[in-house]
Structure 1
Amino acid sequence: MTRKHRPLLVAVVLTLIAALCTAGPSTAAPATFKHPGVLVDKAQLDFARQQVLAGAQPQTAAYNAMKASTYGALSYTPKPRAVVECGSNSNPNLGCSDERNDALAAYTHALLWYFTRDDRYAQKAIQIMDAWSAVLKDHTNSNAPLQTGWSGASFSRTGELIKHLYGGSWAQRTRFETMLRDVYLPEIRNGAGCKNGNWELIMTDAAIGIAVFLEDRAAFDKAVSLWRGRLPGYVYQTSDGAWPKAPSTCSSKDTREEIIDYWQGQSTFSNGLAQETCRDFGHTGWGLTAATHVAETAWHQGVNLYGEAGKRLTDGYYFHTRLENGAAVPANLCGGTVKKGLGPVTEIVYNHYHNRLNQQMPTTLAYTQSKRPAGANYFFAWETLTHADNPR
């Protein structure tokens, strides 16, 4: 080897070493499932618990907010029903709010048990899950798939924590598993077609959580496939072409005009724009965080969807948090006016890309800090507690 070639060889070797050292889980499907591994794993919970025991922030403030919430009251009473009927905008609302709230309360109590080791909290989580598994038979009306996603996401996380961490009795666990398999999964596993993208991403969030909890490999692979087919149809990158791609479950959107209509009339596209940006930031935040939830659960199972997403996820959050933080709205975006209100949806994505991978995301960080401690709403809960500054 000549002396002039040595610097090139050294550079190549260093690049390979860096890649090996920073590589996350592979993109192959898991041979076996890791438990607990729906959104949060034991190492993350142990770290967060130690932070709370030490009085460290922001975890302690997040824990105190969780414990003081109505979802964390030991007097909480579930309101199950056999058929949950949810129309557009939850009208009619026959059990819709009750089911969502009960699922969030169950997850809250599962977390409270882990942090306090007070069995009353675990038994309350079990009581809520058992109440629903005793009676629920169906979700009906136009919002049924979305409602199933909202509630199924929280219920799968609850079941995962109780099944794999709590050593006490759960006599009706099989009945709860049957409910998730027979009532929830069929409603969400095939995606949402041409509905707004937050639907399918929320449904996929629930589907992958249920798949891990049930150790259903086919359902897991199906959820991953839905995510891979939807995310490029939800968050735009210039590498996609002159206009966004259609989601894989929405084959009818195959012209530029149809895509523009689907993207709320937006005809100018830039990195990070979302399919619902010009609808409102609230629904966009749901879509982005649901996509992140899927990637986080997959990460715990050894599937690196975060890596597949490349800059798509971080650009999506940057695009919207920049505007939330006060940047001027461009005249060519949504007619120069946007409806803000992204919500507390950035803890997990910031934790992965910054705390695990050391990417600098100052705009997302500023927004994240302004929303701490993140609470509970619809299908996400207490993520400052479980994921803030937690690279495990």
Structure 2
Amino acid sequence: MLRTACQPEVTKDLPDYNGNWDLAMTDAAIGIAVFLDDHKAFDAAVARFRDRVPAYFYLEKDGKVPLTPARSTVTTPQKLTTYWFKQTTCKDGIAQETCRNFKHVGYSLAATGHIAETAWHQGVDLYKDVKDRLAALDFHARYQLGEAAPAWLCGGKVDRNMGPDLEVPLNHLEDRLGMKVPAAHKLTETTRPADSDDLFVS
């Protein structure tokens, strides 16, 4: 069932969809690959992760505009602005769907953590590739906790509806790497005990 019914659905190439789709599908794909002991599928999920995460979570080193997802038709400044929900000022930690709502960013943070954690247990350290982009944890946690959004961010209005999505990446950053992510830590403590609110295969 996983190979014939689920795997083809979660490995579809959807580069123009919002990034939470790609990341959620990749989360499912890497789990299926491990369960099936499918090395080719595992490698494909890792490659997809490495393509999508930099195009979803922005860092200033990317340049003045966010990176475009691999194979995407979002190739002009106008299309990119629309794809980023009209956000034109980018700073470390902002995500492609920040100005849509925090719920979908939360899905993407959770999926990113789950993919990296699954790979970690298979001896592949994906966290090292994305730990700087996980600044998104603290960035969004600050505003989820009630900090006023500045005018440059989504016109000063953000939709604070993130779920309990930070446990897995927070554990790696704090407990394994000893990094300080105070807002993410505080937010996570306020939601414990809780499962993730994400359903990744739909």
- Separation of aligned partners in 2, 1:194 and 1:184: 21
Instruction: Give the aligned residue type for 1:341.
Output: N
Count how many residue pairs are aligned between Structure 1 and Structure 2.
200
**Aligned residue for 1:201?**
23
Q: 1:318 aligns with which of 120, 138, 154?
A: 138
**Aligned residue for 2:10?**
188
Query: Is the contact between residue 163 and residue 197 of structure 2 (CA under 8 Å) also seen in structure 1?
Result: no
Structure 1 unaligned spans of 5+: 1-178, 381-392
Misfit runs of 4+, over 4 Å: none
2:150 is aligned with 1:334: no
- Separation of aligned partners in 2, 1:247 and 1:281: 20
TM-score (norm 2): 0.96
- Separation of aligned partners in 2, 1:259 and 1:195: 12
Query: Is the contact between residue 233 and residue 247 of structure 1 (CA under 8 Å) also seen in structure 2?
Result: yes
- Separation of aligned partners in 2, 1:287 and 1:317: 11
Superposition deviation, residue 376 in structure 1: 4.8
Q: 2:122 aligns with which of 292, 298, 301?
A: 301
CA gap of 1:227–1:325, structure 2 versus 1, over 3 A, is same
Superposition deviation, residue 254 in structure 1: 1.4
2:77 is aligned with 1:256: yes
**1:117-156 superposed matches below 5 A:** none
Specify the structure having the higher radius of gyration (Cα). Answer: 1
Query: Is the contact between residue 191 and residue 204 of structure 1 (CA under 8 Å) also seen in structure 2?
Result: no
Superposition deviation, residue 341 in structure 1: 1.2
Query: Is the contact between residue 229 and residue 249 of structure 1 (CA under 8 Å) also seen in structure 2?
Result: no
Query: Is the contact between residue 165 and residue 196 of structure 2 (CA under 8 Å) also seen in structure 1?
Result: no
Structure 2 unaligned spans of 5+: none
2:35 is aligned with 1:213: yes
Query: Is the contact between residue 97 and residue 105 of structure 2 (CA under 8 Å) also seen in structure 1?
Result: yes
Superposition deviation, residue 255 in structure 1: 1.8
- Separation of aligned partners in 2, 1:376 and 1:369: 14
Instruction: Give the aligned residue type for 2:101.
Output: D
Q: Which has the higher strand share?
A: 1
CA gap of 1:203–1:249, structure 2 versus 1, over 3 A, is farther
- Separation of aligned partners in 2, 1:363 and 1:263: 24
Query: Is the contact between residue 163 and residue 196 of structure 2 (CA under 8 Å) also seen in structure 1?
Result: no
Q: 1:245 aligns with which of 61, 67, 71?
A: 67
Instruction: Give the aligned residue type for 1:325.
Output: L
Q: 1:279 aligns with which of 100, 105, 123?
A: 100
CA RMSD of aligned residues (A): 1.2
Instruction: Give the aligned residue type for 2:147.
Output: A
Superposition deviation, residue 378 in structure 1: 3.7
**Aligned residue for 1:349?**
169
Query: Is the contact between residue 94 and residue 139 of structure 2 (CA under 8 Å) also seen in structure 1?
Result: yes
Query: Is the contact between residue 191 and residue 203 of structure 1 (CA under 8 Å) also seen in structure 2?
Result: no
CA gap of 1:293–1:218, structure 2 versus 1, over 3 A, is same
Instruction: Give the aligned residue type for 1:301.
Output: Q
TM-score (norm 1): 0.50
Give the share of equivalent positions with the same residue, in percent: 47
Query: Is the contact between residue 24 and residue 107 of structure 2 (CA under 8 Å) also seen in structure 1?
Result: yes
- Separation of aligned partners in 2, 1:319 and 1:249: 28
- Separation of aligned partners in 2, 1:304 and 1:292: 12
Instruction: List per-residue Cα deviations over 1:327-355 (Å, max 9, x = no partner).
Output: 11010111110101111011111110111
- Separation of aligned partners in 1, 2:85 and 2:198: 24
Instruction: Give the aligned residue type for 2:64.
Output: A
- Separation of aligned partners in 2, 1:240 and 1:358: 25
- Separation of aligned partners in 1, 2:189 and 2:152: 29
